Amino acid sequence: MTEPTSTASGAIALDGETAARTRKRFPFRLEIDPSRKESPWWMTIVSVVLALLACAIFFAANGKNPWAVYEKMWTGAFTTSFGITETLVKAIPLLLCGLGVSIAYRISVWNIGAEGQFAAGAIAAAAVTIYFPHLPLYATIPLMLVFAIAAGGIWGALTALPKTYFQVNELITSLMLNYVALLLLDYLVFGPWKDPKGFNFPGTPMFTASQSLPVLGDTRLHLGLIFALIAVALYAFVIRFTRWGYELRLIGANPEAARNAGIHIKRHILIVMIMSGALAGVAGMSEVSGVTHRLMDGISPGYGYTAIIVAWIAKLHPVGLVISSVLFGGLIVGGYSVQTMGLPSSISNMLQGAILFFLIAGNMISKFRLSRNG
């Protein structure tokens, strides 16, 4: 029987007989496929189904019928006019924030600061009602929109500038800026902007009719839906038919080739982060003016974070963003529906977390391939 031989560097080299024995014992091996940049579309469906199955096991272990839970969530969100309109109300900020992070992800800039940018937009919109309280509707809404776009864009730029000029990781800065924006919001609603007639409730005075977005009939579905759909249409057109959209796609696919082609990558990072923040800012303005009608503590149940999952499921595709935002809006509304079964509404958060976990796992698994040892 032959023994392994030592190489000049001191490492142990297997001789031909030992290598052949290893191949016989393990005829296949896992290896990373460099050609697979992202998971196939069907892997997303598989990941979502597995997440639902995992949560179903949890429900069954706690004495609940999984089918009844999912049926209750579905009927509560999609089978009544009230449920559908509420689902669309929840989908508006998800779509705007998801669209914002999708633009950044196009060039592999990982903006996870949509929650803070959302809060910045909501604060800026509320500032208009505080400092310009007597403007008419036709002046107030456009001014709130401009302020929200500017505030969200500035919050996005605060992440882009350290990245482009000092190579600071955008994951860290965007996440930290979320807490800065949320703490600023808390300071304002507990402090100088608190409604003196609000019985110590942490919020600004209620908006007047001229400070609120128009709604559809007796529902809460507001003009923010039009903002979101226009933004999606512009995104689809720019990415598909303009030179700038082509440059974004090239940077995302091959940054080195884009650099060699003379594309100014730093400038694109600044632009997309400002746009990303601006869209999340519009989401904040739509929520504060169209739904809550005041700036208050806890105005977002995590729209900015959920938008990351929305963008990932959609694979940054415009139509996919619309579909996934509606589905996740329904998930939130469905979470409220199951409270009648004795379950907390937070199970929607559990489902979101499970979906994200399985999406990440599916994305990792799809990068491997099974090869024969030969």
For the chain, list the domains and their CATH numbers: 65-342 (1.10.3470)
DSSP 288: I
Q: Cα(275)–Cα(248) distance, rounded to whole angstroms?
A: 13
Task: Give the model confidence (pLDDT) of 115-127 as tens digits.
Answer: 999 999 999 999 9
The pLDDT of residue 23 is: 58
Q: Cα(125)–Cα(131) distance, rounded to whole angstroms?
A: 10
The pLDDT of residue 44 is: 86
The pLDDT of residue 342 is: 87
The pLDDT of residue 24 is: 59
Q: Using 70 as the pLDDT threshold, list the residues of the chain that sit under it.
A: 1-37, 369-374
Task: Answer yes or no: are the C-beta atoms of 111 and 276 closer than 8 Å.
Answer: yes
The pLDDT of residue 67 is: 95
H runs (alpha helix) in 132-242:
137-166, 170-190, 224-241
Q: What is the DSSP string of 208-239?
A: -GGGS--BSTTSS-BTHHHHHHHHHHHHHHHH
List, in order, residues 6 or more apart from 297 with CB less than 8 Å away.
185, 186, 189, 190, 202, 203
The pLDDT of residue 9 is: 46
Task: Answer yes or no: are the C-beta atoms of 117 and 284 closer than 8 Å.
Answer: yes
Any bridge partners for residue 6, and if so which?
12
Question: Three-state secondary structure along 257-292?
Answer: HHHHCCCCHHHHHHHHHHHHHHHHHHHHHHHHHHHH
DSSP 338: G
Q: Cα(281)–Cα(114) distance, rounded to whole angstroms?
A: 8
The pLDDT of residue 10 is: 45
